[in-house]
Amino acid sequence: MRESVGRQIGCPLERGRLAGAEENLDLEEDGVAFILALGANALWAFALVLSKPALASMSAIAYGFVRPLIAAFLVLAYALATDTLAYPGLSVLGIAILGGFIGMFLGVALFMYAVKRASAHIAGTLTNIAPLWGVTASVLWLHEEPHPTTFAAVALVIAGVYLLALRRGSLKGGFSIRGAAAAIGASMAWGVSDTAIARWCLLRGMTLQTLQLVSMSTAAVCWGIVAVGCQRTAPKHYPWSGMKYAVATSVIGLFIGMLLWYFALGQAPASVLSPIRGSVVVFVFLWSMLFLGERPTAHSLRGAVLILGGVLLVSFG
């Protein structure tokens, strides 16, 4: 549509009108992308809150295997119903598989390791600097034009995450260099795979449903291999008490949430959307109060305000 508008240039007055129409179109698409991205983050946060009772009832490996497997079947059914599966070419398919391995398998595995080595709030804080890696990868790899407001938004998000998650004395009791390194690795994996790699595949004609199916299938295969390999030493159990949460988080987070995120990436630059991922912490904060009865602290409220400011800055700045 924008190419056809660009070719229909006539007099200066007409060029001005067309330029204004194109700018309005950009604003509309960015607004829709913002709403979709924010919705995806809200669903991811809700799934994260639901994962707590799930992991209390089943092993992390079993949980890691079941979720992408269920999501893969849901995406396949949706793609077949809408006739949106398409072979994008070997190179694009290979990059999509790499993205699924980095984000849905390696990133999740690193986060689980970080939680075991360091306290959960420290691991959660460090993994939520993913927007920084998403913006960096989008600028360096995708060659997107860096926006000063984007980097300012990333700074606000990181500062907000720090205030929201860290507590006084936490470094004394729960800090681990290995755990911290694993958490930072997880944030890099999620920032690069879910933003830069996904955007790269979409720009080369890969459909949203194909990208999502490849990502979930790759994760399910990787976690399945780990589950089979560990079955002899540590048999995995799949009780319904944990499976019901695995099914819910798969539908809410991996199917609907990822679909909304990929739709957003198809309409706005990855470097613009990446800072919005920091809003996950705010939504986790809200869902935890509503469903877990947690009470906010002064540091938590300040952190939530900073993160909200970063999201608003990248959206309207």
**Higher-confidence residue: 309 or 70?**
70
> What is residue 165's predicted lDDT score, i.e. its pLDDT?
58
Exposure string of 151-181, with b = 16+ CB inside 10 Å and e = fewer, is bbbbbbbbbbbbbbbbeeeeeeebebeebbb
What average pLDDT is seen over the chain?
Answer: 76
User: Residue 316's pLDDT is what?
Assistant: 56
pTM of the model: 0.73
| CA separation for the pair 104, 62 (Å, rounded) | 14
In the chain, what is the greatest distance between 2 CA atoms, to the nearest angstrom?
76
The yes-or-no verdict on residue 17 having pLDDT over 70 is: no
pLDDT, tens digit (0-9, with 9 covering 90-100), for 253-307: 989 998 898 888 888 877 777 777 777 777 877 777 777 666 666 766 777 677 6
Which structure tokens are listed for 23?
């700018």
What does each C-alpha distance from 171 to 118, 121, 123, 166, 168 come to in angstroms? 9, 10, 11, 9, 8
Torsion of CA 85, 271, 94, 111, to 10 degrees: -100
User: What is the band of 16 on the pLDDT scale with cuts at 50, 70, 90?
Assistant: very low
Q: What is the rounded CA–CA span in Å between residue 100 and residue 304?
A: 30
Q: Contact, 294 vs 288, CB < 8 A?
A: yes
C-alpha 115/C-alpha 108 separation (Å) is: 11
Residue with the larger pLDDT of the pair 13 and 70: 70
What is the tens place of the pLDDT at every residue in 144-196? 776 777 778 777 877 776 776 554 444 444 456 777 788 788 888 988 998 88
CA distances from 90 to 68, 201, 204 (A): 23, 12, 12
The DSSP symbol for 276 reads G
| pLDDT(41) > 60 | yes
pLDDT in tens, 128-148: 677 777 777 877 887 777 677
Q: Which residues contact 188 (CB under 8 A, 6 or more apart)?
A: 130, 133
Find the angle CA(227)-CA(181)-CA(223) to the nearest 5 degrees: 15
Residue 127 scores a pLDDT above 90 = no
User: What's the rounded Cα separation, in Å, for the pair 167 and 261?
Assistant: 31
Handedness of CA 136, 36, 66, 127 (dihedral sign): positive
Confidence of residue 216 (pLDDT cuts 50, 70, 90): very high
What is the pLDDT, as a whole number, of residue 92? 95
The number of CA neighbours under 13 Å toward the Cβ of 110 is 22
Q: How many helices (H) and strands (E) does the chain have?
A: 17, 0
Using 50, 70 and 90 to split pLDDT, how confident is the model at 91?
A: very high
25 has a pLDDT exceeding 50: no
User: Which of 227 and 76 is assigned the larger pLDDT?
Assistant: 76
Query: Higher pLDDT residue, 295 or 39?
Result: 39
Q: Assess whether pLDDT exceeds 70 at residue 224.
A: yes
> Is 62 exposed, middle or buried, given 0-12, 13-18 or 19+ CB atoms closer than 10 A?
buried
Q: Residue 278: which H helix or E strand, with range?
A: none
